[in-house]
Amino acid sequence: MFKSKTKLLQLTVTLTACAFLLVPMILSVLAGVTANYFQGISSGFTLKWVFRVWELYADSIFLSMWLAFSCLVVTLIIGLPAAYGLARNPGWFSRILEEFISLPLAVPGLALALALLQLYGSMKGFRASWTFILVGHVLYTLPFMVRSILAVLAAMDLKTLEEGAASLGASPWQRFRDIVVPNAMPGILAGSLTVVTLSIGEFNLTWMLHTPYLKTLPVGLADSYASMRLEVASAYTLVFFVLIVPLLMAMQWASARAQRIVS
Amino acid sequence: MTLRLTNTAKTFPDGTRALLSTDLTVDKGEIVSLLGPSGCGKTTLLRIIAGLETPDPGSDIWFDDDNVTALPVERRKVGMVFQSYALFPNMSVRANIGYGLKMQKLPKDKIDARLNEVMDMCQLQEYSARAITALSGGQRQRVALARAIAPRPRLLLLDEPLSALDAALREALRDELAILLREFQITAIFVTHDQDEAMAIADRVAVMSGGRVAQSGTPEELYRNPKSTFVAGFVGNAMHLDGKIKGKTLTLNGGKLRLSTDGSDQNIYVRAEDVQIDAKGPLTGQVETVTFLGSHYRVGIKGIMPSVLTSIYSGYNAPKVGETVKVMIEPNALILLPNQASGA
């Protein structure tokens, strides 16, 4: 009796927590496909608002995807060699450097954006270009890429593996290409998905850096909430979910895979 | 290939002198073992030969007539078997073994021919497509060996190649390795801390201690004619007979022993197999421990010298613990070494 009561309590708490998280999302998504929100569901379902979002904000969606892709390329080009360097030269200096790279995580996005504006704000061409937002995104996502790869590299005996390849005649570049990169792959994959997901969802910093002609997906979302009718804003949320949820799930799958190698 | 090291030394940046100035020659086709306790410099010496450590200035490493001192490891054409094997987890067995051949940019049919040859020799054909993680310890060891040998290196280097295996497997693979190395007909150097391993595999053993080669010779020479107390103790576990020496007589707590020559200023050592339990023996002691080891007993006897004297007893009726026994040691079985600071 006591046991089933405990079970019942656990179930109630779990369901309440789920409802707490899910109900607002479901309501919001439902509002996006309801013909008239003020009349309720009885007014019927429609995809009109979703199409409307597409008409109004397709540019934002493409900009966000392009930004996420560019951000991924840049963080890979910087992050992979950085993680490799840190893994090959462990010590206090590497530890400090790693903390330094991670600093943007601790600083609020607004402060980071303000710093960027102070430094580059007067460079008109750069300030108004999408690369300005890219710089912000790279600063913010780079630590995730570096740490993800570093965790996988640190878990294997990289030095001996490389010595093995060297004794077989492989040059430093061949060792990096044939040994380091393939074995770091789980970390690279997990890091890449994290970077893309974060870049697409980033609002805080982007909102400070954006111009009226450069609205990313989340900035467009804020814009639609502020200036469109509720159904359009809700439909926007739906579009956002459709883009971000598969990425989120892929990211968790990749992280779990990388975690298995580390442990 | 003949390997020649002259005046080779290594000082680490923190000031540790891992290897004192060493000269070493390994003849073509010879299999040499570097034997010694951990920290004696044997792995450092091997890594210097491989090109994985830079020796101190003044050191010279010759492969035949080429001075390779300044060449990096990837251009020395050495095959190396690592203690942890360092197999590439991202490649199959076949790709691991073929990696060195691929680096030489050989045509594909030549690579395949050599791969099949090496994999047959090491009995790895059936594991060709397997992942490294799906192999047992013994199989990994063979893959590591095959990978090192496949590109036809000038010199094969092995760093404790058997130490990652469990005891039963180690003994079986030890003999297999000895046969394979001779089949390859390659100059080889391997590092070990296990004297049985060194004796079983090597043509010549270099015993190392404190960053230098203490003595080098065939296993028989080292065993029968150790030149220092360290070598006597390390190879074959000779025991120091601690007593008073006067002319040709050694006086121990348990009796007197006759020496074949004047033993003044000498240390006298004996091996357990030369300590015989015999009713007519001149030494008297008390049995402290008896260990049955299948083919023989190890009997620990106290009262003859300050520490325990060990005897190998191969009869059926081993003495009992606490029994008083007589012990005999033939004069020519004693090892006399000049008094010196112990090399250990």
Decide if A164 and B86 are in contact by the 8 Å CB cutoff.
yes
The answer, for A10 touching chain B at a CB cutoff of 8 Å, is no
> For residue A52, what pLDDT band results from cuts at 50, 70 and 90?
confident
CA dist A87 to A181, B88, B293, Å? 13, 17, 48
What is the model's pLDDT at position A46? 82
B313: part of which helix (H) or strand (E)? strand B309-313
Q: Tell which wins on pLDDT, A180 or B315.
A: A180
Can you tell me the ipTM of this complex? 0.84
| Over residues B111-137, mean pLDDT | 92
* Partner-chain residue, chosen from A161, A169, A171, that has the shortest CB–CB distance to B86: A161
Q: What is the pLDDT of residues A110-147, one digit of tens each?
A: 888 999 999 988 888 888 889 999 999 999 999 999 99
Q: Give me chain A's average pLDDT, please.
A: 88
Residues 6+ apart with CB under 8 A from B185: B29
Query: Angle formed by the axes of helices A48-88 and A158-167, to 10°?
Result: 70
The answer, yes or no, to whether residue B342 has pLDDT greater than 50, is no
| Over residues A2-17, mean pLDDT | 89
Residues 6+ apart with CB under 8 A from A54: A61, A239
Chain B residues whose CB is inside 8 A of the A157 CB are 84, 86
HSE (side-chain half, CA atoms, 13 Å) at B323: 14
Q: What is the pLDDT of residues B63-82, one digit of tens each?
A: 999 999 999 999 999 999 99
What is the model's pLDDT at position A263? 58
Q: How far B189 CA lies from chain A's nearest CA (Å)?
A: 15
Strand B309-313 and strand B249-252: the pairing is: unpaired
Question: How does DSSP classify residue B319?
Answer: P
* Test mutation, B14, B68, B82, B152, chain A, max A CBs within 10 A: B82
User: Tokens in use for A45?
Assistant: 């379902």
What is the model's pLDDT at position A192? 93
Report the candidate in B320, B313, B239 with the shortest Cα–Cα distance to residue B281.
Answer: B313
> For residue B10, what pLDDT band results from cuts at 50, 70 and 90?
very high
> For residue B340, what pLDDT band results from cuts at 50, 70 and 90?
low
Decide if A167 and B78 are in contact by the 8 Å CB cutoff.
yes
Question: How does DSSP classify residue B69?
Answer: T
Q: What is the pLDDT of residues A209-218, one digit of tens each?
A: 888 888 888 8
The most confident of the ranges A25-34, A88-97, B95-104, B324-333 is: B95-104
What is the model's pLDDT at position B344? 40
Alpha-carbon distance A231 to A29, whole Å?
A: 9
> For residue B343, what pLDDT band results from cuts at 50, 70 and 90?
very low
The answer, for A121 touching chain B at a CB cutoff of 8 Å, is no
* Test mutation, A89, A158, A168, A189, chain B, max B CBs within 10 A: A168
Decide if B80 and A161 are in contact by the 8 Å CB cutoff.
no
* Partner-chain residue, chosen from B52, B87, B90, that has the shortest CB–CB distance to A163: B52
| pLDDT above 70 as % of chain B | 99
Number of Cβ atoms within 10 Å of the Cβ of B19: 29
Residue of A nearest to B81 (CA): A164
User: Tokens in use for B47?
Assistant: 């890594």
User: Tokens in use for A160?
Assistant: 């001996």
The answer, yes or no, to whether residue B61 has pLDDT greater than 90, is yes
| Over residues A60-70, mean pLDDT | 92
Decide if B80 and A167 are in contact by the 8 Å CB cutoff.
yes
Alpha-carbon distance A64 to A68, whole Å?
A: 6
The answer, yes or no, to whether residue B48 has pLDDT greater than 90, is yes
